């Protein structure tokens, strides 16, 4: 195999380092952890705006206030996000910070609540990501490896670069059809 | 290009002192179907010229036996609305383009916020049957001058109940766009049709409040503003077309037998864009980017500058 510079696939997600300077009436940050590096910078950047800023985060040492709500778990954070979106008007901008598995789950919730991609900004930290097994439809969390066995059906999977924005996951396809589960052949 | 359809005027109804409704029926065959928000371009022989104006279809898209449009008599009419009001009678034959739609309701919207100013109510009249049939969430905010541009107000009141909010300028009632747009639930799309200042107001407030552009839909059917007369030369056919002050470049080209594909005739849809090779253009469209403007003109609204001939790549 030859190696050469490849254009990123159309489906490859693009993440930001800096928030866009777009108008908003309300800004909502949802963070997997407050001590991740992009989060602190993002919050201080957004605090420069006049509009109300609300932060939802898991754990952390920050003191809860009107502007900061701390959840004990991701499940609790998801409930907080649902509640915040229910009362949010058009004009709300959403900033999602965390690993890929986290931010794409939150993005799907926001889209179900009626938000558009144009209103959501993604900041990626950490290497955890989701893999979708195309053979049994199971989702599992993986790190940055390129080959992994499906946790559900056991097929050895090649992690493809194609990313499904709907599922928030990379596609895993059978690595070797002649040796599906890596069995030792007689 | 779609050839025009011949229709017969089945009925003419005066709706308000300045708004008349026309019902068209097919002369032969059936009329093409249309979707909510569609318009037709009506061809009107005004003196030597053929004036073509776009009008929203206000009938229920599920009823395809006829088309209905409403025409407001414009104070500074170039002849089109005056012709419709003063000349057209039941039984007359007219040419209309097949329906086109540049203002369809968004199928993903969770709530449809409809804002109409005066005659701008017409596209929404074709929205309402569809939104009601789909059981969609909507509200209509209708601003008008009572007794003058308040077309269809009684039937809207009866039909919509609390989903209708009205603003009568005669009674000093003001539509506060900033407040309205600041309190819309996520998933709302806003649609506005009416005078330019209403459309501009919605677009400016929406932008300031952080609405992405794709949530904001607007339709303007302003007839092209008059300007100074100028001359257009056609590079490929060698024709020279003189554009009178009250005629648009598109109309002058059509008059000279040059048919350009077009839909909205109001500088919005981009269909009629033509390349130009030389000359100065007064761009009046809301479609072309600054870069495109250096070599492209929208002849439906934009004009050459007086004194320098415009060289079109036609």
The CATH class, in words, for A26-124 is alpha beta
Residue B78: pLDDT over 70: yes
Closest residue in A to B204 (Cα–Cα):
A23
Q: Is residue B224 part of a domain?
A: no
Q: Are residues B192 and B123 in the same domain?
A: yes
Q: Are residues B265 and B240 in the same domain?
A: yes
The domain that contains B211 carries what CATH number?
A: 3.40.50.80
Q: Are residues B62 and B138 in the same domain?
A: no
Domain hosting residue B19, numbered range: 5-101
Distance separating the N- and C-terminal Cα atoms of chain A? 29
| A-B C-beta contacts closer than 8 Å | 52
Contact list, A52 vs chain B (CB under 8 Å): none
- Total tally of structural domains belonging to chain B: 3
Best CA proximity match to A109, nearest among A70, A139, A77, A66: A77
Question: Which residue, B81, B101, B121, sits at the end of a domain?
Answer: B101
CA distance B86 to B163: 36
Closest residue in B to A23 (Cα–Cα):
B210
- The per-residue pLDDT for range B212-239, each reduced to its tens digit, is 999 999 987 666 777 889 999 999 999 9
- Note the pLDDT of residue B222: 65
Does B215 touch chain A if contact means CB atoms closer than 8 Å?
yes
Closest residue in B to A110 (Cα–Cα):
B186
Question: Which residue, B101, B133, B155, sits at the end of a domain?
Answer: B101
Q: What residues have CB less than 8 Å from B174, skipping those under 6 apart? A: B167
Alpha helical stretches, state H, B101-195? 122-133, 153-160, 177-182
User: Percentage of residues in chain B with pLDDT exceeding 70?
Assistant: 98
Q: Are residues B127 and B186 in the same domain?
A: yes
- The per-residue pLDDT for range B33-71, each reduced to its tens digit, is 999 999 999 999 887 778 889 999 999 999 989 999 999
Does B208 touch chain A if contact means CB atoms closer than 8 Å?
yes
Q: Which of A11-20, A115-124, A176-185, B231-240 has the lowest mean pLDDT?
A: A176-185
B213–chain A nearest CA distance, Å:
9
Q: Are residues B277 and B215 in the same domain?
A: no
Alpha helical stretches, state H, B112-210? 122-133, 153-160, 177-182, 196-208
Kindly state the tokens that stand for B234: 């056609």
Does A84 touch chain B if contact means CB atoms closer than 8 Å?
no
The residues spanned by each domain of chain A are 26-124, 129-174
> Could you tell me if B81 and B72 are in contact, meaning their C-beta atoms sit under 8 angstroms apart?
yes
- Note the pLDDT of residue B263: 87
- pTM of the predicted model as reported, rounded to 2 decimal places: 0.87
Contact list, A23 vs chain B (CB under 8 Å): 207-210
Kindly state the tokens that stand for B219: 């339709």
Contact list, A95 vs chain B (CB under 8 Å): none
**ipTM, interface predicted TM-score of the complex:** 0.83
CA distance B44 to B52: 6
Residue B152: pLDDT over 80: yes
Q: Is residue B235 part of a domain?
A: yes
Q: Is residue B225 part of a domain?
A: no
Does A113 touch chain B if contact means CB atoms closer than 8 Å?
yes
Q: Is residue B291 part of a domain?
A: yes
- Probe site for chain A from B107, B183, B211, B216 (most A CB atoms < 10 A): B211
Q: What residues have CB less than 8 Å from A178, skipping those under 6 apart? A: none
The domain that contains B246 carries what CATH number?
A: 3.10.20.30
Contact list, B188 vs chain A (CB under 8 Å): 90, 114
A27–chain B nearest CA distance, Å:
10
The domain that contains B42 carries what CATH number?
A: 2.40.30.10
Q: Are residues B128 and B214 in the same domain?
A: yes
Closest residue in A to B187 (Cα–Cα):
A114
Q: Are residues B186 and B254 in the same domain?
A: no
């Amino acid at each position: 195999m030859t190696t050469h510079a490849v254009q990123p696939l159309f489906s490859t997600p693009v993440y930001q380092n800096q928030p866009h300077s777009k108008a908003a009436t309300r800004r909502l940050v949802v963070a997997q952890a407050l001590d991740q590096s992009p989060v602190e910078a993002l919050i201080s950047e957004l605090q420069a705006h006049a509009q109300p800023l609300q932060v939802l985060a898991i754990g952390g040492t920050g003191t809860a206030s009107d502007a900061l709500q701390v959840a004990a778990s991701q499940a609790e954070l998801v409930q907080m996000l649902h509640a915040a979106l229910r009362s949010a008007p058009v004009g709300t901008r959403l900033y999602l910070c965390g690993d890929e598995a986290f931010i794409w789950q939150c993005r799907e919730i926001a889209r179900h609540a009626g938000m558009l991609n144009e209103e959501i900004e993604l900041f990626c930290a950490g290497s955890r990501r989701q893999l979708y097994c195309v053979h049994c439809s199971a989702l599992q969390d993986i790190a940055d490896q390129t080959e992994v066995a499906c946790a559900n059906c056991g097929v050895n999977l090649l992690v493809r670069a194609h990313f499904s924005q709907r599922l928030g996951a990379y596609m895993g396809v059978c690595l070797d059809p002649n040796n599906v589960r890596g069995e030792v052949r007689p | 290009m779609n050839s025009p359809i011949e229709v017969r005027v089945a009925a003419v109804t005066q709706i308000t002192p300045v708004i008349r409704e026309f019902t068209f029926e097919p002369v032969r065959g059936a009329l093409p179907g249309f979707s909510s928000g569609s318009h037709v371009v009506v061809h009107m022989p005004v003196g030597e010229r053929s004036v073509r104006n776009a009008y929203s279809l206000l009938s229920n898209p599920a009823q395809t036996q006829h088309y209905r449009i409403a025409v407001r008599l414009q104070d500074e009419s170039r002849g089109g609305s005056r012709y419709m009001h003063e000349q057209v009678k039941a039984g007359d034959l007219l040419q209309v383009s097949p329906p086109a739609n540049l203002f369809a309701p968004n199928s993903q919207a969770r709530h449809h916020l409809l804002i109409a100013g005066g005659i701008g109510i017409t596209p929404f009249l074709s929205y309402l049957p569809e939104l009601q049939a789909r059981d969609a969430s909507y509200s209509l905010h209708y601003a008008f001058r009572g007794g003058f541009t308040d077309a269809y107000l009684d039937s809207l009141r009866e039909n919509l109940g609390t989903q209708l909010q009205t603003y009568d300028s005669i009674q000093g009632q003001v539509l506060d766009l900033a407040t309205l747009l600041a309190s819309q639930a996520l998933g709302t799309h806003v649609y506005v049709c009416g005078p330019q200042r209403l459309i501009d107001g919605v677009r400016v407030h929406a932008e300031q409040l952080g609405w992405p552009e794709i949530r904001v839909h607007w339709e303007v059917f302003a007839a092209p503003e008059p300007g100074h007369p100028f001359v257009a030369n056609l590079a490929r056919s060698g024709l020279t077309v003189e554009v009178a002050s009250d005629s648009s470049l598109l109309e002058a080209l059509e008059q000279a037998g040059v048919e350009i594909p077009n839909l909205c005739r109001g500088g919005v849809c981009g269909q009629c864009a033509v390349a130009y090779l030389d000359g100065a253009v007064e761009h009046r469209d809301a479609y072309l980017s600054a870069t495109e403007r250096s070599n492209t003109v929208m002849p439906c609204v934009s004009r050459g500058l007086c004194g320098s001939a415009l060289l079109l790549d036609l």
